[in-house]
Structure 1
C-alpha cells in the first residue's frame, strides 16, 4: 500500500509528543494525543471539550483527514468524538482539536499525552448539484430512520 505524505507542524505545547502514527501494521487510523501540558482536563458527564493535539497539518488537495473516536475510550468510559467524523479540510491550517464528549456516568480526566482520537486520510470526491423537477422512485421511497427494518 502506498502512503500519502501529510506534512505536519508540531506546536510548542506538543514538543514532547510523538507524531501521529499507526499503532499496528493493519491499522487504518493514526493516534492523536492530548497536548495539555501539566494541567489535566476533566470532562464531566454530559460535558464536551475541544482538546488540543498540538499539531497543524497540510492535508493534500483531494483528501480530507477524518478525526474519529477511539473504541476503547468509548467502551470503557463513554467518551467519544462529538462530530464524528470531524473533517480536516485540505485548506485548513489551524491546530487540530478533538471535540470530546463524556457520555459516561463518571468524570473523565484527559492528561497530556493520552491517546484521545484517531485520524484517517480519505480521498474526497467532489459533488456538483443539479436541480431537477422530479426524482425517480425507488423501492424504499422516502422511508428513513429505521424504515428498512432491523
Structure 2
C-alpha cells in the first residue's frame, strides 16, 4: 500500500499536513511546530526543530529529511546529517536537525517550512562475509582518485 500516515501530536493544533508544494515536487515540505514562540539558531549551532507529527511509513521505505535549497543558499541553514533517515518502524515525533552555517543568528517561527522529506524505497539484501571481493578497474581508489575533470 502506498500511503504515508501522519499523526498530529497534541502540541500541533494548526499546522497543515506535510505536503508537496508543486505537482512535480520530490519532497514534502516539513514545517516547524513552535507554538511557544520562535527558536533562534546561533551561528555554528545545531538545533532540533519539532514538526508536530509522527509518521507511519509503508514497509520497505524510509523518509529522508533534506535541506530546503532556498534556506541553504540564502540563509545557510542545513540538515547536517543530510539526508537524515526516519526508519519505517519509528513512531516518535519527526524532528529536523538544523545547522546554521551562516554568520548571523537565524530565527525559526511556528509554521516555517524548514526542510523537505523524500519517501524512498529501501533494499534489505542478505548480508554475507567473504574472503575476497571481485576486482574492478578502480579498485580501492577513493576520495578524489578519479580526478576533477
TM-score normalised per structure 1: 0.95
In structure 2, the residue matched to 1:19 is 17
Unpaired stretches in structure 2, ≥5 consecutive residues: none
Instruction: Kindly tell me the number of residue pairs found equivalent between the two proteins.
Output: 148
DSSP 3-state at the match of 1:13: coil
Q: Distance in 1 between matches of 2:125 and 2:97?
A: 27
DSSP 3-state at the match of 1:49: strand
Q: What pairs with 1:5-84 in structure 2 (closer than 5 Å)?
A: 5-84=3-82
Quote the RMSD (CA, aligned, Å): 1.1
Which deviates more, 53-62 or 120-129? 120-129
In structure 1, the residue matched to 2:99 is 101
Deviation at 1:64, TM superposition (A): 0.8
Unpaired stretches in structure 1, ≥5 consecutive residues: none
TM-score normalised per structure 2: 0.95
In structure 2, the residue matched to 1:124 is 122
In structure 2, the residue matched to 1:4 is 2
